[in-house]
């Protein structure tokens, strides 16, 4: 079975079956443009923006979802739901925020719409229902508003009845 080797940012070389490896559009483009799939399998696909740990999570997901139909085009009129993350993906994504965000970055860089979608939905689910006080704590975000800015934001959004 033809395989492709990817070289992560920290030098490791996880190997993956070429069909699986071609799921990330970035890799697919590289592989096809550089005609790596008909080479001897010794060429490396460099992925300087993705570390090995993340790549090791991305590859099993690609394998698991390799027969999935391509995700539908974003329909402006369709309801955007976050409850349709498959159980397998939910398990994969029971990770800390840091890892989750790294997965998002990887999916973004590798142009993997499916993975990007589920990771973003997962983060969205963690935002839902939290108050403006809980959000900075959960996501470790510093409030960088000045007093005037904060007052302005409050005023602009008082129509919503919160805070």
Q: DSSP readout, 80-141?
A: --SS---HHHHHHT-S-HHHHHHHHHHHHHHT-HHHHHHHHHHHHHHHTT--TTHHHHHHT-
Q: Which of 155, 92, 147 is nearest to 121 (CA)?
A: 92
Q: At what angle do helices 25-33 and 97-110 cross, to 10 degrees?
A: 40
Question: Which member of 24, 102, 110, 114 binds other proteins (CB under 8 A)?
Answer: 102
Find the part of the chain contacting other proteins (CB under 8 A) among 5-13, 40-48, 61-69, 128-136. Answer: 128-136
Nearest CB to other proteins, comparing residues 38 and 133: 133
Is 123 a binding residue for other proteins by CB under 8 A? The answer is yes
Instruction: Tell me which of 2, 46, 60, 136 binds other proteins, using CB under 8 A.
Output: 136
Rule CB under 8 A: is residue 69 a binding residue for other proteins? no
Three-state DSSP class for 55? helix
Q: Is 80 in the site for other proteins (CB under 8 A)?
A: yes
The contact set with other proteins (CB under 8 A) reads 76-77, 79-82, 96-98, 101-102, 104-105, 107-108, 116-117, 120-121, 123-124, 126-132, 135-145, 149-150, 153-154, 156-157, 159-163
């Amino acid at each position: 079975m033809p395989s492709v080797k990817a070289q992560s940012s920290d030098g490791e070389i996880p190997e993956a079956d070429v069909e699986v490896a071609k799921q990330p559009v970035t890799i697919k483009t590289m592989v096809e443009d550089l005609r790596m799939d008909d080479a001897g399998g010794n060429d490396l696909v460099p992925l300087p923006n993705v570390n090995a740990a993340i790549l090791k999570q991305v590859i099993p997901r690609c394998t698991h979802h390799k027969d999935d139909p391509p995700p539908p085009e974003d329909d402006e009129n369709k309801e955007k739901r976050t409850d349709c993350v498959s159980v397998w993906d939910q398990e994969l994504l029971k990770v800390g925020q840091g890892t989750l965000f790294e997965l998002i970055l990887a999916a973004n860089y590798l142009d993997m719409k499916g993975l990007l979608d589920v990771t973003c939905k997962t983060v969205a689910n963690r935002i839902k229902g939290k108050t403006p006080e809980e959000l900075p704590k959960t996501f470790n975000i510093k409030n960088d508003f000045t007093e005037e800015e904060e007052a302005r934001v409050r005023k602009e959004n008082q129509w919503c009845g919160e805070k």
